[in-house]
Amino acid sequence: MAGALRLSTLDAAFLYLETPECPMHVGSLSLFQLPDGYDGDFTEAFKAQIASRMDAAPMLRRKLAPTLLDLDHPSWVEDDQFDIDRHIFRGGLPAPGDMATLRRLVGWMHAKLLNRARPLWEFYVFEGLPDNQVALYAKIHHAMIDGGAGVALSKIVYDLVPDPAPREAAGASTAASDRKTSAAELAGAIAQTAFGLWRRPFDKEAAAAPISLPRTGRTDFGSVLIDHALTQVETGLKVAAAMPAMARSAAEALPGLLDPQKLKQLPQMVPPSTPLNTAISSERSFGTSTLSLKKVKAVAKAAGGKANDVILAVSAGVLRRWLQERDALPDKPLSAAVPVSLREEGNADTNNQAFAMTCRIATDVADPKERLARVIAASGEAKAMISPLKDFVPHVQSASTLGMPIAMQVLALLYGRSGLSNVLPPTANVIISNVPGPPVPLYAAGARMLDLWPVSIAVHGMGLNITVQSYMDKMAVGLIAGANVLPDVQRLADMMVEELDVLAAA
């Protein structure tokens, strides 16, 4: 099969929804402690480390190959002009070189689009920080990666010990796999797949095998049409194979969705409008905070919830305070868009395997203990509602229509430039995400990682994104916002620690 990898509909959507005001890359800001007496060049050492591991992370060498007239999703192909010096840069941190300066710089850099003519990732190394520390800002397009894939990629990029043994090559160069499939090979592969499909009802081994039709891997007009047709056939076959599970899921979901009591509550479930729910500018503000993982788990255990419920409740407390200060706190509770991973244990594929649920976060409740109880209940209801839908989501995410790329790009630009997000009711008020990270210390070029803060995406209509990632005994909080909505988002970041203390005391 050809080495060109066609993007899924979900992965490609992050490309189509991207506009100058809404970049669709995610990233991180990390601090490293250099060893005592270090006199080397950390930037060059880090660059050499990444270069030595490109075979284990082949997606880092792949760039986009669009189809003719954007008729169908683009593909990832080997960049035959790949140059690591175009992806890892030495940055200069202006005086006074403190965390406030670093956060402002990251906010400014995170607002800049990645160059689609190259692989969609960049690292910036900032040396000369106080206490012999260096900072690393990384960004990678969401079309390539989600939170789970990011954690998997970090295991390749970083080390578990300061001086690791040299890694063995992961295999042959990916360039060798970019050979196009010939017509004879394609026909043979289709015939072999068809034979396997006929065997599925009579052979348990054949029934357990994944359904995967071959592709030409080309971007010319005829090949695009052939690959699109094969994708439609493959999707139909997968839906047919999953029909029993999907029917069971529908039977489980429908009674809850059609419950008269819940239907009466629908008007109350529409999120209220707040100052956060407006069109955002092309500038970003970035804030960081660090919570105690032990304290978060202790509060969750005492309340009978999970760590994610505590993060939602802490965020709700912060938003309640911020809105009260502006005399803009709605009577109705705010809703959060919460990403939900579909990634199976051990899956390290560099793609998106997630969808989102909405959860009311009880910002209308003054008592922090009661607020957490309401959040736990609302989170449980939201999970119960979406759980039966998990069998449907992968098939919806793989659905495709010719002309979708250009249509979605036009609609994204129209939505942003028309100001519709200023007048339409929000689908949610804020994005809140919690990603499990490495529980052990990581190293890069001999330097120990001290902190790892996520940097995510703010969009029109939801001008604030709160993303949390655990690292060792910490929960690192990264807040990214449209600068026109929250020019000083660090103030909200500082409130996160205060609100966790309030919740722990309650």
Angle at 57 between CA 55 and CA 60, to 5 degrees: 105
Tell me the Cα Rg of the chain.
Answer: 24
Eight-class DSSP state of 392? T
Looking at residue 121, its amino acid is W
Q: Which residue out of 142, 228, 395, 460 is catalytically annotated?
A: 142
Which long-range contacts link 166-170 to residues 24+ away (Cβ below 8 Å)? 166/52, 167/52, 167/53, 167/56, 169/55, 170/55, 170/56, 170/58
Distance CA(433)–CA(413), nearest Å, equals 26
- What H or E segment, with its residue span, contains residue 471? strand 464-471
Eight-class DSSP state of 211? P
Closest to 477 (Cα-Cα) out of 459, 462, 461, 492:
492
Q: Determine the straight-line distance between the first and last CA of the chain, rounded to whole angstroms.
A: 59
CA 106, 112, 118, 124: dihedral to nearest 10 degrees? -20
Q: Which residues are paired to 374 by β-bridges?
A: none
Distance CA(414)–CA(78), nearest Å, equals 33
Looking at residue 45, its amino acid is A
CA atoms within 13 A on the CB side of 208: 3
Q: What phi and psi values does residue 367 have, to the nearest 5 degrees?
A: -75, 120
Residue 142 annotated as catalytic: yes
3-state SS assignment for residue 323: helix
Residues annotated as catalytic (active site), given as ranges: 142
